[in-house]
Amino acid sequence: MKAGFIGLGHLGRAIAGRLVEREHTLIAWNRSPGKAQGLPCTEVDSPRAVAEQVDILFLCLFDSQAVRQVLTGEKGLLTGTVSGKIIIDLSTNHFADVVSFHDSCREAGASYLEAPVLGSVVPASQGNLAVLVSGDRSAYEKSKPLLEDIGKHIFFLENPALATKMKLINNLTLGSFMATIAEAVSFAEYVGMQKKDVVEILSVGGGNSLVLNAKKAKLLEEDFSTHFSTALIYKDLHCLMDLAYSEKKPLFTGAMVKEFYAKAFHDGLSQEDFSAIYKIFKK
């Protein structure tokens, strides 16, 4: 199938690579030129140029501001003819902004599916993401074969903003587990344990989790090259706390964990993997 892809950051490039591996033809655009280098695709000069050539396209962007710019900015997707097209947004948006994206796309005649993903670069490259989808059911059914090429688990939640809210809640557990593991490892080292032994024991004890299994090598080697950045989880936890505020609902661990990542961000770790939070506990 011929599809569009906008946003070739760490995660976007991994997903795009997976789509190519599954023999889809990609028309791509990225704000910073050159990100498509080495990826078998046709690179065009604007989001609108992507939409002109495909009926289904993906967005994988940093935040809602970036999504809005791609949709409505100069040569944005909605500045051209998009009637009947499907826009699948893999970005993790603000829960309020995503509702307006549904509205804007519908008014332009396009179907918008919010489809944030659970997982980062490695599962993305293997087609093992979990994908949460909200939006028009018929658009979802048409897009499902593509979604199944990138996701092992697909959850259709239908109501606008519900997929985004669930993604933010998932990232509460993601950030909390990572912070707890990082603090446990650094404290065990402080009291005299070898890190390799600590990680091995946690792996068969209370620390056993998808998070530890995914980040074990990073903790052991202290190679915090980015799969999912500190900047991204810090942004997501901010959105989560906005959601809690809108619901007048306290989130005790959410507030605390957000501040851990605020500290990591302040300490210059924004572009490192979120497992680099280990560094703030190791000090």
Average pLDDT, the chain: 97
Instruction: Please list the residues that pair with 202 across neighbouring strands.
Output: none
- Is residue 230 pLDDT above 90, yes or no? yes
First to last CA, the chain: 50
Per-residue pLDDT tens digits for 144-184:
999 999 999 999 999 999 999 999 999 999 999 999 999 99
pLDDT in tens, 50-69: 999 999 999 999 999 999 99
Residue 45 CB burial class (10 angstroms; 0-12, 13-18, ≥19): exposed
Nearest 5°: phi and psi at 134? -130, 145
Write out pLDDT tens, residues 92-117: 999 999 999 999 999 999 999 999 99
CB 96 within 8 A of CB 124: no
The whole-number average pLDDT for the span 29-43 is: 92
Q: Is 22 a residue whose pLDDT tops 90?
A: yes
Structure tokens at 33: 């030129």
What are the strands, taking DSSP E only, across 34-179? 42-43, 56-59, 86-89, 111-114, 117-118, 129-134, 151-158
Q: Which of 26, 28, 60 is nearest to 44 (CA)?
A: 28
% of the chain beyond a pLDDT of 70: 100
Q: What is the pLDDT of residue 258?
A: 98
Domains and CATH numbers, the chain: 2-159 (3.40.50.720), 165-282 (1.10.1040.10)
Whole-number pLDDT of residue 176: 98
Query: Tokens 């710019």 map to which residue?
Result: 69
pLDDT at 283: 84
Contact status, residue 68 vs residue 97, Cβ threshold 8 Å: yes
Q: Confidence band (pLDDT; 50, 70, 90) for 239?
A: very high
Is 33 a residue whose pLDDT tops 90? no
Statement: residue 193 has pLDDT above 90:
yes
3-class SS shares of the chain: helix, strand, coil, % to 5 = 55, 15, 30
pLDDT at 4 over 90: yes
- Output the CA angle 204-222-187, nearest 5 degrees: 55
Following CA atoms 264, 270, 271, 276 in sequence, which dihedral angle do they give, to the nearest 10 degrees?
10
**Residue 275: DSSP 8-state:** G
| Predicted local distance difference test score (pLDDT) of residue 252 | 97
Q: Give the residues across from 87 on adjacent strands.
A: 57, 112
Strand partners, 185: none
Q: What is the pTM of this model?
A: 0.95
